[in-house]
Amino acid sequence: MASSYDYDDASLDSRYARPPSAGQGGAGTDQGYDPNFVPDSVKTFVVHLYRHIREKNVYEIHQMYDGSFQRLSDRMFRESPWPSVEAIAPYVDNDHVFCLLYREMWFRHLYARLSPTGRQRVESWDNYCSLFSVVLHGVVNMQLPNQWLWDMVDEFVYQFQSYCQYRAKLKNKTEEELQLLRQYDQAWNVYGVLNYLQALVEKSAITDVLEREKEGLEQFTATDGYDYEGGTSNVLKMLGYYSMIGLLRVHCLLGDYHTGLKCLAPIDISQQGVYNVVIGSHISTIYHYGFANLMLRRYVEAIREFNKILLYILKYKQYHQKSPQYDQILKKNEQMYALLAICLSLCPQNNLVEENVNSQLRDKYNEKMTKMLRYDDEAYAVYDELFTYACPKFITPSAPVLEEPLTNYNQDAYRLQLKLFLYEVKQQQLLSGVRSFLKLYSTISVGKLAAYMEVDEPTLRTILMTYKHKMHAVDGDGKIIPNADVDFYISEDIVHVVESKPTKRYGDYFLRQILKFEEMISELDRIKLD
């Protein structure tokens, strides 16, 4: 499971130049780790897992994957890797695919508990290439739990992001590490990553499946993607599905929010779907969707989705306390509150946030939100702080230039996104003032309003037009969506304010009461009075 880390990952330094099989691990590996020693519990584990996979017993596989693997890791492999794949292969008939799966788990464990060396990163890339190639050739005939399949895609993107950070920090690299980078220049190259994800989406024909499902011609969501009857493999299909989310994530890391959202488009997030079966995939989807909408200035859309997921997490996080994903869930939860605070400061709304979410939000960010609304220097500092905390770990995708002078440029991508974001905030600087004034009046002349705001009339007109422009986003189809809770129009010289009041849902109320009374009446009818 991808572990959370601070913006600048301090553990990625050049101490771990030696691969662990050399026996002398760095500070991370247990002294005396023998990759060839297979404890009995591991023997049992792989034998049973292999059997369950062959028998397509998805439930048992899930128990072992989610439960036993974590327990064994906690007990025996807290600070060392699992036994090497060569050591366990004899117990599983040297099955090629099982070994690829085992290795994927092996590397994932390494990334989570220890620090991978440059060489290990490259080896992990090779493993993913082999694994995905096998899947793409359509020769994998097994049913695996969705949790596992999601974790594979999630980890793939995470390791890519981690590698981009790693190879962008050149200043303190040893000659050996630089040589490795030169030699394996194809490892984790951005084309490979994107093309594998794209290939999984295409080969699985998942967009067709989703289309047919809408017309009632296919069962997919109803069975969580599994095939209980026929037992056909769900691996390619689900990897294809999760790769759409993976593509959204990679595009966000590159700063291409528009294309990211397009990649996610086949998944309808206004409905329940397979994406919310595994909580990790649900959170990742909504986090990136919301972030992309924030950068596209579609604030209301972002607020709506953040609100829904934060409410969901509030209600259900207790059920995940024991799970290895718990830390990551909490971290994303906090980040989304920060993003929600940003959205609500840029685009105040009254009725979009549910009560409990709102009180959590106020607990965490009330002071900061007040500061952000002031739009002074302190405000920009708060916007900066929250954005930095909550944003994805942007990457520089191009290959490193491995000649002098060697620099660290891993923060360049982030700095650009932050700069452009703050630039947008600055452009909206005067809008908060306009909004407060508009809330006080139903009509006011342009001249008077200009005087109150201490600007001349032409400037006020431009401010009012800016308000209109910024508060009306353009959605993917070119439609204009109003975002503001306070709106206005100008007739010649008079500003007429229009405040959108929450409309009472009379229709809904009457329908419910009609049905309730009808029920009562039929009950009463049944009582016989003698």
Partner 1 sequence: MGREQQQVSYTVKQLVSVNPYNPDILSDLENYVNEQVSSQTYSLDANLCLLRLYQFEPGRMSTPIMVQILIKALMAMPASDFSLCLFLIPEQVQMQEQFKTLIVLSHYLETARFRQFWDEAAKRRSILEVVPGFEQAIQAYAIHVLSLTYQKVPRTVLAEAINIEGLSLDKFIEHHVAISGWVLEKSHGHSQLIVLPRNEFNYPELKKHTTDGVPFEDVTRIFPILS
Q: Give residues in contact with partner 1 (CB under 8 A).
A: 190-191, 194-195, 198, 254-259, 262, 295-297, 396-398, 412, 415-417, 419-420, 424, 427, 458, 461-466, 468-470, 472-474, 478, 480, 482, 487, 489-493, 498, 502-508, 511, 514-515, 518
Shortest separation between residue 7's beta carbon and partner 1, angstroms: 18
Shortest separation between residue 170's beta carbon and partner 1, angstroms: 16
Shortest separation between residue 257's beta carbon and partner 1, angstroms: 7
Q: Are 482 and 475 in contact (CB under 8 A)?
A: no
Closest to partner 1 by CB, 32 or 458: 458
Taking the C-alpha atoms of residue 469 and residue 136, their distance in angstroms, rounded to an integer, is: 47
Shortest separation between residue 502's beta carbon and partner 1, angstroms: 8
SS3 at position 79: coil
b/e map 88-107, b = 16+ CB within 10 Å: bbebbeeeebbbbbbbbbbb
DSSP 7-63: SS-TT-STT--S-GGGS---TTSPTT--TT---HHHHHHHHHHHHHHHTT-HHHHHI
Strands 486-491 and 494-499: antiparallel
Shortest separation between residue 272's beta carbon and partner 1, angstroms: 17
Taking the C-alpha atoms of residue 175 and residue 178, their distance in angstroms, rounded to an integer, is: 5
Shortest separation between residue 172's beta carbon and partner 1, angstroms: 23
Closest to partner 1 by CB, 1 or 250: 250
Closest to partner 1 by CB, 82 or 188: 188
Closest to partner 1 by CB, 139 or 514: 514
Cβ–Cβ contacts within 10 Å for residue 401, how many? 11
Strands 480-482 and 494-499: unpaired
- Contact residues for 219 (Cβ-Cβ < 8 A; gap 6+): 213
Closest to partner 1 by CB, 76 or 265: 265
Listed in order, strand segments (DSSP E) in 413-476 are 443-445, 472-474
Beta bridge partners of 488: 497
Q: Which residue has the tokens 């036994």?
A: 83
Closest to partner 1 by CB, 230 or 405: 405
Shortest separation between residue 463's beta carbon and partner 1, angstroms: 8
Closest to partner 1 by CB, 277 or 422: 422
- Contact residues for 23 (Cβ-Cβ < 8 A; gap 6+): 32, 33, 34
Shortest separation between residue 181's beta carbon and partner 1, angstroms: 17
- The closest of 306, 197, 204, 335 to 254, measured between CA atoms, is 197
Taking the C-alpha atoms of residue 333 and residue 315, their distance in angstroms, rounded to an integer, is: 12
Closest to partner 1 by CB, 313 or 342: 342
